[in-house]
């Protein structure tokens, strides 16, 4: 069974940093892109960024709204992807999801359950 499970969410002060983890199982992790998304309360889905597989040189791409504050990495030996976000703002408050992606089509077929990040003083 394919599983992705986000962790690391919680309450963060503005200006601080967070690191979310996405350990995965049930598939050949190293062969897939892993992407991060977020969804603010009552809002739609927003793409944060992704990291491709080794076959695509572990390329990273980031959404315009977070570029410069975000870094996505992965450890294929442990089947884990990470999201590092710096200089947190209240508008970063959202549920953050990781998802498995298909590199050729950029669609995302398995999602984690999400982790809530709240940025507030």
Partner 1 sequence: SYVLTQPPSVSVAPGKTARITCGGIDIGDKSVHWYQQKPGQAPVLVIFYDADRPSGIPERFSGSNSGNTATLTISRVDAGDEADYFCQVWDNSSESVVFGGGTKLTVL
Residues making contact with partner 1 (CB under 8 A): 35, 44-47, 50, 61, 63-64, 97, 99, 102, 105-109, 111-114
Question: 74 near 96, Cβ under 8 Å?
Answer: no
CB of 46 to partner 1, least distance (A): 7
CB of 4 to partner 1, least distance (A): 9
Question: 73 near 34, Cβ under 8 Å?
Answer: no
Judged by beta carbon, residue 12 or residue 108, the one nearer partner 1 is: 108
For tokens 């597989």, what's the residue?
Answer: 53
CB of 78 to partner 1, least distance (A): 22
Rg of the chain over CA atoms, in angstroms? 14
Judged by beta carbon, residue 79 or residue 115, the one nearer partner 1 is: 115
E strand or H helix that includes residue 101: strand 94-102
């Amino acid at each position: 069974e394919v599983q992705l499970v986000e962790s690391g969410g919680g309450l963060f002060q503005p200006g601080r940093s967070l690191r979310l983890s996405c350990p995965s199982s049930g598939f050949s992790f190293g062969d897939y892109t892993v992407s991060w998304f977020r969804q603010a309360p009552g809002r739609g889905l927003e793409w944060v960024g992704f990291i491709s597989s080794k076959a695509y040189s572990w390329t990273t791409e980031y959404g315009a709204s977070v570029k410069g504050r975000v870094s996505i990495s992965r450890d294929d030996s442990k089947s884990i992807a990470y999201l590092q976000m710096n200089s947190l703002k209240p508008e970063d408050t959202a549920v953050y999801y990781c998802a498995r992606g298909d590199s050729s089509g950029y669609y995302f077929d398995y999602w984690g359950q999400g982790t809530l990040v709240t940025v507030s003083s």
